[in-house]
Structure 1
Amino acid sequence: MGGSVGDKLIIRLKNESNVDVGDLLIIEDKGLKFYVKVINKSIASLVPGQFIEEIAGQNLEYDESINLFDEKERFYQIAFAKILTIDKNRFVPPRTIPSFFAKVSKVSSDDFKFLEKKGEIEIGCLRLGTESLKSVKIKLPAKDLVSHH
């Protein structure tokens, strides 16, 4: 993991992990809980580009199967994420970032218990990339929606 407070975090994903752009992740570190939203993904490699081109060319031209040593360690996905910090049950701008090797996991409905007491008018459920958490209801406060006459 790397990155900066004001820009984005760079998270190396576990091989074959199912993380999409728009997903929310949790990073627990230093006694804090960081909510982060995946804003982009890319593939990366520890193998220099010219060798990747050579391997791809041999596969393309000669239809050779590719057998690589330590493939999972050498070829991987990177997620770029924006920090959405929560303090006292509300979102606030981030002031710090997690450590390099902090544990990252997908969110669950338990991570959003604080939303249960927010608002009276339900407008839907929490959307996560291409999926949604049906058990997490999003509500708006009625007093902010109804104008005075």
Structure 2
Amino acid sequence: MRSIKIVKAVAYAFNTQLAGMVETSNRSVRLPSTVGWHDINIKPHPSLVSSSKSENNNRVVTTTLKLITSDDLYIRRRHLVFRVTLTDDRQYLVGARQRPYPQIEITENAPENVTDNQLNEVVITYKSHEIPPFIQV
């Protein structure tokens, strides 16, 4: 049976809080209970896409998370990880404690017309060798 994969929530934490993370399998991790997640107020529904390709005989997985938020995110100078929650309550971890870190691009809109999008557009790109793991609760 296939499940519907729709993102319902996104939160971020500082990558230094992942000390003590345990990989329980190839596709899942257990996080320390001390991780302080900061919820992001998002417009439904963000997109999460992971795609793989081969570069110099190495598998590279690029994960892209796109969201629209009313929050002013002052997070550019810190290395962050993201918890992405789906509608069936599964959670993915985008990012890791060590390099490479997720790249964050924020577009702040101040449009000419009142009816145009005034929310911030955020694109998070993370490159690694594996698809983002599930977070075991």
Please report the TM-score for the alignment, with normalisation by the length of structure 1: 0.33
Greater C-alpha Rg: 1
Please report the TM-score for the alignment, with normalisation by the length of structure 2: 0.35
Q: Larger helix proportion, structure 1 or 2? A: 1
